Amino acid sequence: MASLQRYTDRRVLITGGGSGIGQATVLRILEEGGRVVAADISEPGLKDTVAKADAYADRLTTVLVDVGDEESVKAAVAEAVRTLGGLDTLVNVAGILRSAHFVETTLADFEKVLRVNLVGTFLVTKEAIPALRQGNGPAVVNFSSTSANFSHPYMSAYAASKGGIQSMTHALAMEFSKDGIRFNSVQPGSISSGMTDGTGESKSSIGPGLPSDTNFALFGKTAPMLPLPNGAIFAQPDAVAAVVAMLGSPDAYFITGTEVRVDGGSHM
């Protein structure tokens, strides 16, 4: 159990809470005493989260949502706010990845990635703003990626969406600074998740879903510098969840409009 209890009496909505980093974030914030609504498009994923959070079941509620659909987002955020009685922290984890050669990327796939990742973050945040304005030390943590600032081959749509999220986070941090709402983002890299093991809807940038003729030499600059157990190339999702928990808590009261890279030194 986490020794910190920064989320006692805090009300938290986490999208993408059914797997990977989103699920790890749900568990971490529950361990720190928070009341959480986990939102995801996958009902089996949410059931798995509930099973893993058994000790904190009285503080966890789930809701199905398609973050790329405005009506679904409106209904899910309203339900979350009703359930929690308000909102103090929003974490926008939900996202997908499509890996392909740029010239073979379809318009449908490019737009789908932007719709879920970038537009989804916009829609959820927009619906949450009224509740956050009334929240206690309100904070939003968005998910950018190391691909927003550094070259990651075969993932142009994903990189574009994450760059957009990062820029939007800066703009929102300024716009809502006098409302006291903090906006920050994390930039995960080399993290095990549904995207990297192929179990989520999305597939990996360095794993399932890559082109059959992938040139793996192009990934040389994305390898983490810090050693991982048993020669692993991906860190566990809790590495990111710990940073998210800090940024969404009162401990980060003087941090806004920035991003924290969590990549084991891949891009030093």
pLDDT for position 208: 41
Q: What's this model's pTM, rounded to 2 decimal places?
A: 0.90
Exactly one of 7, 56, 154, 158 is catalytic; name it.
Answer: 158
| Cα–Cα–Cα angle for 213, 219, 220, rounded to 5 degrees | 130
CA distance 164 to 192: 23
CA distance 162 to 156: 10
Residue 142, both tokens? 């968005």
The residue type at 16: G
Numbers of helices and strands, H then E, in the chain: 8, 7
Assign 3-class secondary structure to 199-265.
CCCCCCCCCCCCCCCCCHHHHHHHCCCCCCHHHCCCECCHHHHHHHHHHCCHHHCCCCCCEEEECCC
Task: Establish whether 7 is a catalytic residue.
Answer: no
3-state DSSP assignment of residue 27: helix
Q: Are strands 35-40 and 60-64 parallel, antiparallel or unpaired?
A: parallel
pLDDT for position 200: 42
pLDDT for position 256: 98
Q: Are strands 259-262 and 182-188 parallel, antiparallel or unpaired?
A: parallel
pLDDT tens for the chain, residues 1 to 268: 557 899 999 999 999 999 999 999 999 999 999 999 999 999 999 999 999 999 999 999 999 999 999 999 999 999 999 999 999 999 999 999 888 889 999 999 999 999 999 999 999 999 999 999 999 999 999 999 888 787 777 889 999 999 999 999 999 999 999 999 999 999 988 787 655 454 444 333 333 467 777 766 666 666 777 777 877 777 899 999 999 999 999 999 999 999 999 888 887 7
User: Class for domain 11-262, per CATH?
Assistant: alpha beta
Q: Is 128 exposed, middle or buried, given 0-12, 13-18 or 19+ CB atoms closer than 10 A?
A: buried
pLDDT for position 147: 80
pLDDT for position 220: 60
Which residue in 265, 94, 111 sits closest to 193, CA to CA?
94
Q: What are phi and psi of 184, to 5 degrees?
A: -140, 170
pLDDT for position 157: 93
